[in-house]
């Protein structure tokens, strides 16, 4: 074997070894968001909601999240924002939570991220939910668009 061919072989083996080492150290994680939905003004406040789905390798739970926020970045009074999250497994409800409302007083809450976790088996998971805005005599309710699916192995 010529010296040039040996160097080329060593370089190729090194590159392949580095590629295999890099690939094996990658941590699997999946995260997806639904399209955001804006609504309001309701009692002078505008809102935006969005769904999120997330799964990290090694974690048995898949997480679904409901996001609700005042996109202007100003706080809303206590109890004005509510959110509820639903997690679906292969199209069927896997887990959900009850309504959560902002509890911050003073300057108020700008945003909330409400989680629900579940493991209903290997398959496809999506998340959605609902948000509420106080209207002076109860709440107006708004659906959250469904996230793209992620797979739990």
The predicted-structure confidence for 27-75, as pLDDT tens digits, reads as follows 347 899 999 999 999 999 999 999 999 998 777 789 999 999 988 888 8
Task: Give the model's confidence band at 3: pLDDT under 50 very low, under 70 low, under 90 confident, else very high.
Answer: low
> Would 87 be classed as within a structural domain?
yes
> How far is residue 126's CA from residue 74's CA, in Å, rounded to a whole number?
30
> Would 11 be classed as within a structural domain?
no
Residues in the chain: 153
The residues near 93 (Cβ < 8 Å, ≥ 6 apart) are 86, 87
> Would 23 be classed as within a structural domain?
no
Q: CATH no. for residue 125?
A: 2.60.40
> Would 20 be classed as within a structural domain?
no
pLDDT at 85: 94
Q: What 3-state class would DSSP assign to 36?
A: coil
Count the domains in the chain.
1
Question: Which residue bears the tokens 């509510």?
Answer: 82
Question: What phi-psi label fits residue 115: left (phi over 0), alpha (psi between -120 and 50 degrees) or beta?
Answer: beta
> Would 12 be classed as within a structural domain?
no
The residues near 115 (Cβ < 8 Å, ≥ 6 apart) are 63, 64, 65, 85, 97
> What integer is the mean pLDDT of 118-126?
91
pLDDT at 109: 59
> Would 15 be classed as within a structural domain?
no
Q: Look at 53-67, 102-116, 127-141 and tell me which has the smallest mean pLDDT.
A: 102-116
Q: 20 or 35: which carries more pLDDT confidence?
A: 35
Task: Write out the residue range of the structural domain in which residue 85 sits.
Answer: 29-152
């Amino acid at each position: 074997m010529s010296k040039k061919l040996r160097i080329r072989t060593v370089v190729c083996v090194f590159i392949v070894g580095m590629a295999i080492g890099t690939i094996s150290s990658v941590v699997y994680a999946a995260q997806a968001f639904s399209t955001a939905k804006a609504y309001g003004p309701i009692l002078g406040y505008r809102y935006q909601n969005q769904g999120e789905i997330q799964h990290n390798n090694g974690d048995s739970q898949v997480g679904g999240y409901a996001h609700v926020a005042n996109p202007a970045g100003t706080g809303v009074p206590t109890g004005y924002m509510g959110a509820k999250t639903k997690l679906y497994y292969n199209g069927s409800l896997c887990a959900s939570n009850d309504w959560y409302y902002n509890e911050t007083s003073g300057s108020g809450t700008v945003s909330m991220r409400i989680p629900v976790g579940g493991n209903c088996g290997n398959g496809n998971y999506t998340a959605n939910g609902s948000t509420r805005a106080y209207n002076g005599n109860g709440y107006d309710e708004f659906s959250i668009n469904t996230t793209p699916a992620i797979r739990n192995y």
